[in-house]
Amino acid sequence: MDPRVLARLRQYELIEIEQKKTNHHVDDLPNNAVNKQEKQGQILNDYFFRNRDVYISKHSRFADYPEHSHQFLEMNYMLSGTCNQVVDGQPVHMNQGDLLLIDVGCPHSIKRLGENDILINLLFRDKNISINFLNDMSRTKSVLYEFLINRAAGENNSIKYLLFGKNVDNDINKTMEDIITEYYSKREFSNAIIKSYLSILLAKLVRHYHVSPTSKDPQQQIIIKILKDISEDFKTLNLTKLAKKYGYNKNYLSNFIKKETGDTFSSLIMKQRLINAHTLITSTTMPISDIIDSIGMKNRTDFYKKYRDYYHNNPGSERQ
């Protein structure tokens, strides 16, 4: 990392000087940057993104930071030292090089940082970016992958944060530090370069985040097998065929899938088709009409509507 940028980050900010004297948090946020709600503490809004797509700041040292949440997605990067947080009610410890991805609306608080603890906050402007956006970038994503991601946080819960350790891959750290250097160097075209770096960073995070099924619950093992069938045979699979394979009554199986995944069988099939279409649209030059045929759909209008509903974008716009 650029030593000049690192030296700058180690310097005391005015708020840090005050917090070091008192050991108490000093709130320097303007009123129009915060929406206050009693149960969730401070909720930070889009104030930070005036004339920029990404906002980066150093977290102030020497005092605890109270619980808060955001209307945007946040990354915390431990540039040096360590820190302790409470994220969505769970204790999280970060070492140098660790990266914490926190979803929209997830409450977290940060314990006091010491002299050598440099924590960088990276905020996304687009409120539609969420953990699901990260999942969608995976070229190997399937309904099984999505299910296991959610199960990693516990039964029927959605995961609100992901912690990436430094030992995952050093090029994640390099990309993150390139973003920080570009941001603080304030050179021409820095906003465009940072956005490009960010896409690379997210792709690398997806590449290195894996969830393995560990439950021995027989029902969960069955649903995992069913979801694998869907991911591999989404073009022709139907509920009758699936019920026969597992020896279930068709109606029972339908209810079982809905109970275990929160989605109907037809919704899971459609989701997998859209995921595969998205992969082909973003990674090949295959005509969209051919992609529609390849995923087992016949109605072009229906495909476009469902694709927009799922990805919040038109298929053609993905290639621009």
Q: Is the pLDDT of residue 267 over 80?
A: yes
When pLDDT is averaged across residues 14-24 and rounded to a whole number, the result is 95
pLDDT at 288: 92
Q: Residue 83 has what pLDDT?
A: 97
What span, in angstroms and rounded, lies between the C-alpha atoms of 54 and 198? 9
Residue 256, both tokens: 């079982």
- Please say if the pLDDT value at position 134 is more than 50: no
Give the pair of three-digit tokens for residue 283: 């990674």
Q: What is the pLDDT of residue 102?
A: 86
For residue 167, the model assigns a pLDDT of: 57
Question: In the structure, what pLDDT confidence band is assigned to residue 208 with cuts at 50, 70 and 90?
Answer: low
Whole-model pTM over 0.85:
no
Round to whole Å and give the CA distance between 200 and 173: 12
Q: Which residue has the higher pLDDT, 55 or 59?
A: 59
- Which residues pair with residue 34 across a beta bridge? 44
12, 62 Cβ separation under 8 angstroms? no
pLDDT band at 70 (very low <50, low <70, confident <90, very high): confident
Better pLDDT: 41 or 30 = 30
Residues 145-152: what's their mean pLDDT?
A: 53
CA distances to 20, 70, 71, 89, 318 from 37, in Å: 28, 12, 13, 17, 37
Structure tokens that stand for 271 in this block: 């989701």
| CATH code for residues 218-319 | 1.10.10.60
Query: 219-231: per-residue pLDDT in tens?
Result: 767 887 888 888 8
Does the structure show a pLDDT above 60 at 142?
no
Mean of pLDDT values over 272-276: 88
Cβ of 65: how many Cβ atoms within 10 Å?
19
Looking at the chain, the domain(s) classified CATH 1.10.10.60 span 218-319
pLDDT band per the 50, 70, 90 thresholds, residue 162: confident
pLDDT of residue 158: 54
> Contact at 8 Å (CB) between 274 and 310?
yes
pLDDT bin (cut points 50, 70, 90) of residue 157 is very low
Q: How does the average pLDDT of the chain come out, rounded?
A: 80
- The answer to whether residues 206 and 134 touch, using CB atoms and an 8 Å cutoff, is yes
CA 305 – CA 320 distance, rounded (Å): 19
CA gap 215, 148 in Å, rounded: 10
Per-residue pLDDT, averaged over 167-186, amounts to: 84
pLDDT tops 90 at residue 65: yes
- How confident is the model at residue 156, as a pLDDT? 45
CATH topology of domain 3-129+158-208: Jelly Rolls (2.60.120)
Burial status of residue 235 (CB atoms within 10 A of its CB: 0-12, 13-18, 19 or more): middle
Mean pLDDT of 174-181: 92
